[in-house]
Amino acid sequence: MKSQAQKRRHASPQHRRSSIRRKINKARLLLTVLGALSVVLAAVLALLALIQKQPMDQPIWRISLAYLGGGCILLVIRALLNLPKRIRRRQSHRAVKEGAQDPAVSGKDGMVLVLVLVLLGITATLLLHLQFTARLAQQADLRLWQNARLRTALTDEAFHLVRVLANDEELAVDHLEKPWTDARETVRPDGITTISRITDLNRHVDLNNLVLGDDFTRRNHTERFLQEAMTKAGDFTPIERIEALKDWVSPDNEGIHGSEFYRTLDPPYRAPDTWLHTWNELQWIHGFSPEYFARKPLHVIGRPFTANITDLLTIVPGPRSRPVPININTAPSEVLESVFGPAQEPLARYIYLARADRPFRSVEALLAHADQALFAELEPFIDVRSTHFLIDVRAFEGDRRAGLRAVVHREPEGRVHILQWTL
């Protein structure tokens, strides 16, 4: 039990005032910590929302405003609990004079210390998370910026090549000595290197020539060209693949390898019954595979083929009523032999050798060396000018790279249309 002296001391006005001051100081410190914690949390959440570009209607903004409002209210209450300046000056003067602090100030409550530590821990964690998120966002923005620069370089170079084709000084004749036949390497002022090339698609046999209008009566010629070209590439049973290809691209063609055939596979799918879009589409057709188009070493003793299949065939996307012709000034010898047939190999060799000295100005120049009936039969399939081109561009910057491929169609007067654009 407390003694009478202790009871009198506790009951004295000075002791009651000291006790009240201690409680007020504890309340002020607690309100300061909680208010500062709320304001800091509101600021961190707001910065995080700004970095992540969150719209204003997202919950993170509402939580941030709630923390800010609560913190401001606590700080206002803390300000209302301030003692008069005269009391604060007297306490400060007494503490300096006695060389000791007021027990109400020096005796910090353990709970307040825990709250301070919690405040520091939460603030440090949020700051680390904010820094990590900001770094990720910065890296993502940097990648987007670098990719955008590469795409811009690709697009600029591709349109430059389109202008080169459109501004060709001699549109009536195309040959292998044209300036656009050479690869072009450019180092841009921004440090990006581009390597570009224009490929004449009229130098190869177009697979989409199998899809022609009903008014064209010479479809068997396009099948023969394909058969000869595939044989020269080492395929000695090309008819099965050609029939499967016809079933794939021909409208409403329910052949052996039509849609019903592909529905029985696992997984099932259907034939599109329209022209081919890309080379990758061929791997879904019966008889074709990536290995079929893989490049093989040539000039090996005992090998019965002289070219790779991708050097003889091409895909020009889009419907057509007439076949895409073969340019006799640019086609390789194997393609010329496929078009003119095995019986006309001397004529194909003559064209291949004669154009090296001077390109043919018209297909009628062949009449002096070819039978008139043969010329009339093949005239829709040959030409001395090219109408379709592949633009291939590669861009490099450090260890980053990107590519662009575009198939374009050039009209006789020089106007160029983009048929396919792939980044």
Please give the backbone phi and psi of residue 195, each rounded to the nearest 5 degrees, phi first: -125, 125
Q: pLDDT at residue 329 above 80?
A: yes
State whether 75 and 156 are in the same domain.
Answer: no
Question: Does 243 reside within a domain?
Answer: no
Higher pLDDT, 401 or 113: 401
Q: What is the pLDDT of residue 5?
A: 53
Q: What is the pLDDT of residue 4?
A: 56
Q: pLDDT at residue 407 above 50?
A: yes
Show the tokens assigned to 165: 């084709």
Question: Does 214 reside within a domain?
Answer: no
Pick from 63, 55, 54: which is nearest to 137 by CA? 54
Confidence of residue 300 (pLDDT cuts 50, 70, 90): low
State whether 8 and 79 are in the same domain.
Answer: yes
Distance, CA of 397 to CA of 224 (rounded, Å): 46
Question: Does 241 reside within a domain?
Answer: no
Confidence of residue 105 (pLDDT cuts 50, 70, 90): very low
Confidence of residue 86 (pLDDT cuts 50, 70, 90): very low
Give rounded-to-5 percent helix, strand, coil for the chain: 55, 10, 30
Q: Identify residue 330 by its one-letter amino acid code.
A: T
Higher pLDDT, 211 or 409: 409
Other beta carbons within 10 Å of 93: 10
Picking from 38, 71, 98, the residue at the C-terminal end of a domain is 98
On average, the pLDDT of the chain sits at 83
State whether 16 and 82 are in the same domain.
Answer: yes
Determine what percent of the chain is predicted with pLDDT higher than 70. Answer: 82
Question: Does 288 reside within a domain?
Answer: no
State whether 160 and 77 are in the same domain.
Answer: no
Picking from 98, 122, 157, the residue at the C-terminal end of a domain is 98
Question: Does 86 reside within a domain?
Answer: yes
Alpha-carbon torsion angle 224, 227, 231, 232, nearest 10:
60
Could you tell me the pTM of the whole model?
0.73
Domain that holds residue 91: 4-98
Give the least confident one: 255-259, 375-379, 401-405. Answer: 255-259
Q: Per residue in 15-70, pLDDT tens?
A: 666 777 777 777 777 777 777 777 877 887 787 777 767 778 877 788 778 878 88
Determine what percent of the chain is predicted with pLDDT higher than 90. Answer: 45
The CATH code of the domain that includes 408 is 3.30.1300
Tally of domains within the chain: 2
Question: Does 167 reside within a domain?
Answer: yes
Question: Does 108 reside within a domain?
Answer: no
Picking from 38, 69, 98, the residue at the C-terminal end of a domain is 98
Question: Does 136 reside within a domain?
Answer: no
